[in-house]
Amino acid sequence: MAVPLMDPNAQIAPYMDELEQIAARVLRSGRFIFGPEVEGFEQEAAEYLGVKHAVGVANGTDALSVALRCLGVGEGDEVICPAYTFFATPETISSVGAVPVFADVDAATCCLDVDDVRAKVTGRTKAILPVHLFGHAADMDALNALAREHGLAVLEDSAQAWGAELGGRRVGSLGDAATFSFFPTKNLPCFGDGGMITTNRDDVAELARMLRFHGSKDKQTFTHIGYNSRLDALQAAFLRRNLTEIDGWNAHRRQVAEWYEQAGLGELVELPPVQEGTTPIWHLYVVRTDHRDELIAACAERGVGATVYYGSPHHLQPVYADLGYAPGDLPVTERLCATGVALPMFATMTREQVDEVVEAVRAGVPARV
């Protein structure tokens, strides 16, 4: 039985006819940029997350760039972030003229290690940028406390975590601002590119709305150098429909994670733990093993998707060679990059598919002692 790493088509198959009707509705409306669909999604997203403002933009990368500027990050500032994440996280820090300062991550959460963040704070630090990696919430309480102590902004990179919770509050509502991606394989997907900035701060929301449209509030007066970064009406309409499904999709992903445990996967590889007080949404199911190549080969032989996410830590990327990092500087990050492998995880996955994945893994790695 072949099992894909992800299966977004199966997720939307039950309501494909409705999606076609939504597309026709938008086409007939003649409103393709901004308009009621975008405004409606922004309002519904804000209500879902429990924030005052949600600002749609063209993609998750733009969301980070815009949000950093809204928080006052600019030339020469330092922003502390993980090196174990998608490259857009440090890339956008660099794109606004700031310097990414890489901190190690906690082995249990794969999110920023608060103690290492504290050690990296300097007089040039402007913000902390935690990533809720793979759908697990970072330790926002401790990070926010540290930020308050030093007068720093906190920007949540929530691209992989729509619906994840910490202490009963949804990520995207826990810092000064947050960003999301709606890439087609995200838990809350659109069918192209899309992104969002969320915040409870009026000043951040006002500036974000200006920056997404070339730095103008009224299309006549331009007070900032901005971006052409707008969430289009068609994607917003699709997202409104998908938002009604997201809790069910995320709940099923949590069921799949339980099935993996019940099927004995933990006898073969190290499973991703769940921290007390958090509700993950399992964007990716990343296990750890010293036999990664053998596992991937065994899965490929049986038609089971398995791949490496973030195999090269960003503090050692060629583009950041001038920052002076060396192997061993972020030991937990480097270990995760060397041992992590993503196994199939999607919202329509069956118990039979889970069992097939576990058998494929069993064929490739020895039992853990």
Mean pLDDT of the chain, nearest integer: 97
User: 248 pLDDT exceeds 60?
Assistant: yes
Instruction: Give pLDDT, residue 365.
Output: 92
Question: pLDDT digit string (tens) for 85-125?
Answer: 999 999 999 999 999 999 999 999 999 999 999 999 999 99
- What sign for the dihedral angle of Cα 166, 333, 96, 35? negative
Contacts 24+ apart (CB under 8 A), 243-246: 243/41, 243/44, 243/45, 243/48, 243/188, 246/48, 246/162, 246/163, 246/187, 246/188
Residue 258 CB neighbour total at 10 angstroms: 11
- The 10s digit of each residue's pLDDT in 166-214 is 999 999 999 999 999 999 999 999 999 999 999 999 999 999 999 999 9
Contacts of 51 by beta carbon, 8 Å cutoff, 6+ apart: 172, 173, 178, 198, 199, 200
What DSSP character marks residue 274? -
3-state secondary structure 208-245: HHHHCECCECCCCCECCCCCECCCEHHHHHHHHHHHCC
Q: Which pLDDT score, from 0 to 100, does residue 302 have?
A: 97
The domains found in the chain, sorted by start residue, are 8-103+110-243 (3.40.640.10), 246-364 (3.90.1150.10)
On the question of pLDDT at 275 being above 80, the answer is yes
pTM summary value = 0.96
367 pLDDT band, cuts 50/70/90, is: confident
Reference 133, options 302, 319, 272, 13; nearest CA is 272
